[in-house]
Amino acid sequence: MQLFLHFTVLIQIAYSYKFIPTNQKQNYNFATNTILHKNVAKVEEVPHHVLIVYGSYFCSGSLIRSQVVLTTASCFDRSPHRKTVVKVGADTVTGPGQVISVVEIKIHEYYKHSSDASHDVALLALKEHAEFSDKVKKIVIVDPEVALRVGTSIDVSGWGHSNLPAKYLNHLVWSEMVVISNEECRKFYNGLITDSNFCAKYQVERRLSDNGGPALFRNLLVGMLSFGGTKREEPHIAVFSNASYFHRWITLNSRRFLEKYCVDLEPDLDISLKSLNDMI
């Protein structure tokens, strides 16, 4: 109950987060908007999606091992030393799910600050294993050196923005986006786009409220939402951290977590350990 209240308070202040439009003139008629009905995601469709709560802000991330979450470094700009927890297996911010403390946040060595989308990647080590189920699964990261063609459609999940009616405000939503070239993207976000990024355009009503969220292509994690327009008038183009580009960094640092905390097991072992526990 206490936790529930805690999350409810969070939603009210989350409007100040950078991915939320600051200037919302849009008046949504949810009842007649069929696109938005399809937008709502069930956690079974995105069982790797993780809610990250740090201080009084929230973000999205992806479970890549039972004890490791991949997200963006920009999530932690505002309160880097606050207590951070994640919740897995939940499709609403306030709904039930497994809440796990974060024991370490690894920010990319080359990341500077949120106004710079370069090297916007971070890994979280969890205190306990996420318990795998229909609602909780890890995601496979796309191989290194894999390029997405311009025009490829990707599915991005995140927490619903404040244009939505209150009952969908804290719900997990889908946003379909289409990859554009970095060259085209630089026309809008010049100087912000580096080799570690790619961009995708979206429909204005599919804007997400937070960053760190996973972009999927054929069930592979291809990107993490790093930055997006904050105004309705701006180009509706989101900037991602390229998962393929960071493949080596992610592998190395996940392994480092594994050695340091000595607890991250391979999925098969997780299952056998569970059945072993059941037998004891």
Q: Which residues bind ligand NAG (CB under 6 A)?
A: 145, 147-148, 179, 198, 242, 244-245
Q: How far is the CB of 261 from ligand NAG (least distance, A)?
A: 29
* Residue 66 near residue 129 (C-beta atoms within 8 A): yes
Residue found under tokens 């592979």: 220
Say if CB 208 and CB 159 are below 8 A apart.
yes
Give the Cβ contact number of residue 231 at 10 Å.
11
* Cβ pair 200, 215 in contact under 8 A: yes
Q: Where do we find the tokens 């979450």?
A: 69
* Beta carbon nearer to ligand NAG, 145 or 278: 145
Q: 98 and 88 in contact (C-beta within 8 Å)?
A: yes
How far is residue 177's CA from residue 113's CA, in Å, rounded to a whole number?
Answer: 25
CB-CB contact of 17 with 41 (8 Å): no
Least distance to ligand NAG, CB of residue 223, Å: 8
**How would you classify the pairing of strands 98-107 and 153-159?**
unpaired
Cβ nearer to ligand NAG, comparing 132 with 198: 198
CA–CA separation, 10 vs 84, rounded Å?
Answer: 13
Of residues 147 and 252, the one with the C-beta less far from ligand NAG:
147
CB of 45 to ligand NAG, least distance (A): 23
Q: Rounded to the nearest whole angstrom, what is the least distance from the CB of residue 246 to ligand NAG in the complex?
A: 8
Smallest distance from the beta carbon of 208 to ligand NAG, in angstroms? 19
Backbone torsions φ then ψ of 99, nearest 5 degrees: -95, 125
Query: What is the Rg, in whole angstroms, of the alpha carbon atoms belonging to the chain?
Result: 18
Pick 71 or 163: Cβ nearer ligand NAG:
71
Indicate the residue among 57 and 198 with the shorter CB distance to ligand NAG.
Answer: 198
Nearest to ligand NAG of 11, 148 (CB atom): 148
Q: Least distance from C-beta 93 to ligand NAG, angstroms?
A: 30
CB of 245 to ligand NAG, least distance (A): 4
Q: E-strand spans in 161-212?
A: 172-180, 197-201
In the complex with ligand NAG, the residue whose CB is nearer, 182 or 230, is: 182
